[in-house]
């Protein structure tokens, strides 16, 4: 036999043997590895290779999933990018998952890779995973929902996914850790879709009170309802202001309800005005149920409550958060009965006047948040002082002094220099409770310019050196020094936002609010400190932005969204979350967003 015939025969024999034992794809060949997914023996290894290829390519592309090819390597090759690897494998991964439901271990591995890819072509696998099987594939459903939360989908794809998530959520009836993890992730995915078709699903979870569902799940669903900003949710969100955990009436969702109503904005205004007027019978009944639940645990606390007072408190708080001027007169109507009384008459029968004081306090502190015009400020100033003077210094009995302290702090956030005389009087009065004096002096220091400094420095120096009150007063020295330097110069205060002393920065925020109303440069400067590492600075910057961005601020809304996305779940976000989301909603409403 000739040599070339022997070579041909051996080559043919090699092909036959290759067919018999199967030729393996190269580990770095994405398309070849995708073909091996159909082989149960090679499936796990193929998934591992695809995962390695994709995650490595994604890291090299700096997280950009759209990159087709990577830079040329040392061997002169141009490796495929994340997009090319997904193109070669995502449909095979999807098909393998759908066609092999019994292979749960590899199914989870496939879903983990699809989570990295975040490719809409994997939706058949993700929706199949949402049809979870108890004790078998709950984690599949959780991973699928996590993937959906991060994907960009079109309207038709969202409709399909919302249906699958709704069905998956309805099937969760237990209270295991796995059940709650599923609920949490399904709810997060529904909110992330930002499609109002999810509203009835989320409001159903939000208002469901059952022993198999932690009340924290209700609260989470309420937050996601707010993200959708759907006017159809307003009645359920008003109901949420009064809902409470069946076994813990102190655990409520009034803060979540108010935040979500604020995000919806103007469509919530009239329903809340109706609530304030007492025209929402359902809310009145739920408020009574709340008091009865509290009574079962704390008779004394319940005795200090009545349904009408609870309703007024929640209505005023929510109206203040939304911030529309149309709410001012109805809110002042709840304050007026206290203002009409003489201070001595209020104190003479405190128990009889408790409800009048409580309603006035709820509404006056919320009025501070209203987006008022300059002409509205004298009325607010006079009302704040009048309510302070008629509120006994030890009110409420369960937290003596808390109400006056709250009023003094609220005065700072009016940014009204017209309150300086009153704040000076409180700070200088040695007969006042020291805590009141300290808060009043701080509010004064944050609102004062150079002309206002002499008298407040005199108040400080009259206190014995080294004493508790003197030391507390002197914590404001940095704010007074900034006022001495900048006086009424807005640009100077803007420059102080970069100061290393947080007290100086907080002072700058307050003075920008006093002098920078409507100023674009001031708005941009305040946006720049929203991510400050000092939490009180963040809060003061938010209040100042709310005061000066009279026509809203798209850049502030974007920055708040960025911080939320980056820091959600961290203490740095949780401590400013309520203020930040309320300010965001008000600024967006003013821009028409």
> Tens digits of per-residue pLDDT, 255-274?
999 999 999 999 999 999 99
CB of 494 closer than 8 Å to CB of 508: yes
Q: pLDDT value at position 593?
A: 60
d(CA 325, CA 269): 10
Q: Which of 231, 230, 229, 255 is nearest to 242 (CA)?
A: 255
Tell me: the pLDDT tens digits for 526-572? Answer: 999 999 999 999 999 999 999 999 999 999 999 999 999 899 889 99
d(CA 356, CA 352): 8
Mean pLDDT of 200-214: 92
Does residue 2 surpass a pLDDT of 70?
no
Instruction: Please name the residue that has the structure tokens 């969100």.
Output: 237
Q: pLDDT value at position 297?
A: 84
Does residue 17 surpass a pLDDT of 50?
no
67 φ/ψ angles, rounded to the nearest 5 degrees? -70, 125
CB of 206 closer than 8 Å to CB of 185: no
Q: Over 426-450, what HEC string results?
A: HHHCCCCCHHHHHHHHHHHHHHCCH
Q: pLDDT value at position 299?
A: 85
Tell me: the pLDDT tens digits for 417-440? Answer: 999 999 999 999 999 999 999 999
Is pLDDT larger for residue 295 or for residue 149? 149
Tell me: the pLDDT tens digits for 480-537? Answer: 999 999 999 999 999 999 999 999 999 999 999 999 999 999 999 999 999 999 999 9
Q: pLDDT value at position 302?
A: 79
- When the candidates are 1.25.10.10, 3.40.718.10, 1.10.1530.10, 1.10.10.60, the CATH number that belongs to 489-593 is 1.25.10.10
400 contacts: CB under 8 Å, gap ≥ 6: 393, 394
Q: Which of 464, 381, 387 is nearest to 416 (CA)?
A: 381
Q: Which of 158, 179, 176, 177 is nearest to 168 (CA)?
A: 179
Q: pLDDT value at position 62?
A: 95
User: Which regions of 216-331 does DSSP assign to beta strands (E)?
Assistant: none
Q: At what angle do helices 535-548 and 520-527 cross, to 10 degrees?
A: 160
Q: pLDDT value at position 22?
A: 52
CB of 456 closer than 8 Å to CB of 441: yes
- How does the average pLDDT of the chain come out, rounded? 92
Q: pLDDT value at position 1?
A: 43
Mean pLDDT of 169-189: 93
d(CA 351, CA 353): 5
Distance of CA 507 to the CA centre of its chain: 26
Mean pLDDT of 334-351: 92
Is pLDDT larger for residue 446 or for residue 352? 446
64 φ/ψ angles, rounded to the nearest 5 degrees? -85, 105
Is pLDDT larger for residue 445 or for residue 19? 445
Domains of the chain, by residue range, sit at 3-68+79-117, 489-593
DSSP 232: G
Which bin fits 438, alpha (ψ -120 to 50), beta or left (φ > 0)? alpha
Distance of CA 41 to the CA centre of its chain: 47
Banded pLDDT at 407 (limits 50, 70, 90): very high
CB of 583 closer than 8 Å to CB of 542: yes
Q: pLDDT value at position 23?
A: 66
């Amino acid at each position: 036999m000739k040599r070339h015939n022997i070579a041909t025969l051996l080559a043919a024999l090699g092909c036959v043997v290759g067919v018999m034992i199967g030729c393996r794809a190269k580990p770095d060949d994405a398309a070849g590895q995708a073909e091996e997914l159909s082989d149960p023996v090679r499936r796990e290894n193929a998934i591992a290779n695809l995962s390695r290829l994709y995650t490595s390519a994604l890291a090299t592309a700096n997280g950009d999933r759209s990159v087709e090819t990577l830079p040329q390597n040392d061997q002169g090759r141009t490796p495929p990018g994340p997009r090319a690897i997904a193109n070669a494998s995502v449909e095979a991964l999807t098909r393998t998952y759908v066609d092999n439901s019994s292979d749960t271990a590899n199914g989870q591995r496939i879903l983990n890779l699809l989570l990295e890819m975040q490719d809409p072509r994997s939706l058949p696998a993700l929706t199949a995973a949402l049809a979870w099987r108890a004790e078998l594939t709950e984690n599949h459903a959780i991973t699928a929902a996590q993937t959906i939360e991060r994907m960009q989908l079109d309207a038709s794809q969202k409709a399909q996914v919302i249906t699958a998530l709704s069905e998956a959520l309805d099937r969760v009836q237990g209270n295991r850790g796995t059940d709650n993890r599923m609920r949490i992730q399904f709810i997060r995915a529904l909110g992330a879709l930002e499609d109002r078709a999810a509203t009835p699903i989320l409001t159903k979870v939000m208002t469901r009170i059952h022993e198999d569902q932690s009340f924290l799940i209700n609260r989470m669903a309420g937050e996601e309802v707010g993200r959708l900003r759907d006017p159809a949710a307003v009645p359920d969100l008003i109901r949420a202001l009064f809902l409470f955990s069946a076994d813990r009436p102190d655990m409520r969702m009034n803060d979540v309800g108010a935040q979500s109503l604020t995000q919806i904005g103007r469509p919530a205004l009239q329903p809340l005005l109706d609530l304030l007027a007492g025209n929402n019978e359902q809310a009145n009944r739920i408020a009574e149920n709340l008091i009865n639940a509290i009574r079962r645990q704390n008779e004394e606390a319940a005795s200090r409550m009545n349904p009408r007072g609870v309703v007024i408190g929640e209505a005023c708080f929510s109206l203040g958060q939304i911030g529309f001027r149309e709410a001012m007169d109805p809110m002042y109507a709840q304050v007026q009965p206290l203002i009409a009384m003489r201070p001595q008459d209020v104190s003479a029968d405190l128990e009889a006047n408790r409800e009048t004081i409580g309603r006035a306090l709820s509404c006056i502190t919320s009025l501070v948040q209203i987006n008022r015009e300059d002409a509205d400020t004298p009325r607010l100033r006079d009302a704040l002082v009048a309510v302070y003077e008629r509120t006994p210094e030890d009110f409420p009995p369960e937290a003596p002094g808390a109400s006056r302290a709250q009023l003094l702090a609220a005065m700072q956030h009016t940014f009204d220099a017209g309150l300086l005389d009153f704040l000076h009087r409180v700070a200088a009065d040695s007969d006042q409770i020291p805590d009141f004096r300290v808060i009043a002096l701080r509010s004064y220091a944050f609102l004062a310019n150079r002309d206002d400094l002499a008298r407040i420095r005199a108040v400080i120096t009259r206190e014995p050196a080294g004493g508790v009150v003197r030391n507390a007063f002197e914590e404001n020295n940095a704010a007074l020094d900034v006022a001495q330097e900048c006086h009424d110069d807005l640009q100077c205060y803007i420059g102080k936002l970069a100061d290393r002393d947080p007290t100086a920065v907080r002072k700058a925020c307050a003075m920008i609010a006093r002098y920078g109303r409507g100023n674009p440069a001031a708005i941009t400067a305040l946006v720049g400190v929203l991510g400050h590492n000092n939490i009180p600075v963040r809060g003061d910057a938010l209040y100042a932005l709310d005061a000066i961005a009279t026509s809203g601020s798209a850049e502030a809304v974007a920055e708040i969204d960025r911080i939320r996305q980056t820091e959600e779940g961290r203490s740095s976000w949780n401590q400013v979350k309520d203020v930040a989301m309320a300010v965001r909603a008000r600024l967006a409403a003013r821009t028409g967003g």
